[in-house]
Chains A and B, each alone.
Chain A
């Protein structure tokens, strides 16, 4: 299916996946993430419950220390 991931169109070779699956699939290894699907915040504990559908706009932001 095709989704928008961090502002880029991407074809994901899987259907019926959750946000947590996508993070594993894309090998996002940063410890601290903020995830959103279609602008809606998906909290850490909900990432294995929220499914991603064709055409969804997904954001996976990673955060690192320093300021």
Chain B
């Protein structure tokens, strides 16, 4: 068995929750599907818009579709054996503990900082032993040298922790993709242990 197959076998029994299916969530979910994570629990209330295509893992013919549905479709084209549990809902302190309770790891992939705070506090209060991987600080371009991961107990924060999205600093594919894949990379380390 090659090491790649060995990794796939180990990840096949794992479940990862993806809270939000925008720039961070869609790219992170695709990376986890490609390495063979067996089940993804994906949640988002939103639909694909034209303006999302600058960074989110969707296609122009998917504009108008619920993001969870479009993401399930795209992951199915990569690996039809990955199981996808979809939740087309607005995540909240009430439904997060229910939707993600059986996940080995949860990925925070919201855009708004209030939602990021909400999920960190909700997981700390209701699922305190669950590892939570967050994306904080990804706007604009360049500044590669300040993107990294910082851990606070079982909360892992990926990003530059500095650059907030604003009119002058939009979220764009390269940096959003880096942070989304850094989140996926952190999930792998939590699931498999250090290399």
Contact = CB atoms under 8 A, between A and B. Distances in A.
B149 interface: no
A11 interface: no
Contacts of B125: 41
Contacts of A63: 113, 116-117, 120, 136
Given A32-B113, A34-B121, A41-B121, A65 B152 contact: no
Contact of A66 (B117, B121, B155, B164): B164
A59 to B, nearest CB: 5
A36 B22 contact: no
- If over half of A's interface residues share one DSSP class (helix, strand or loop), that class is named, otherwise mixed; here it is loop
Interface residues of B, number: 36
Interface residues of A, number: 18
B152 A61 contact: yes
Interface of B: 20, 22-25, 109-114, 116-117, 120-121, 124-125, 135-139, 150-153, 155, 157, 159, 161-165, 171, 176
Interface of A: 6-7, 31-34, 36, 39, 41, 43, 59, 61-67
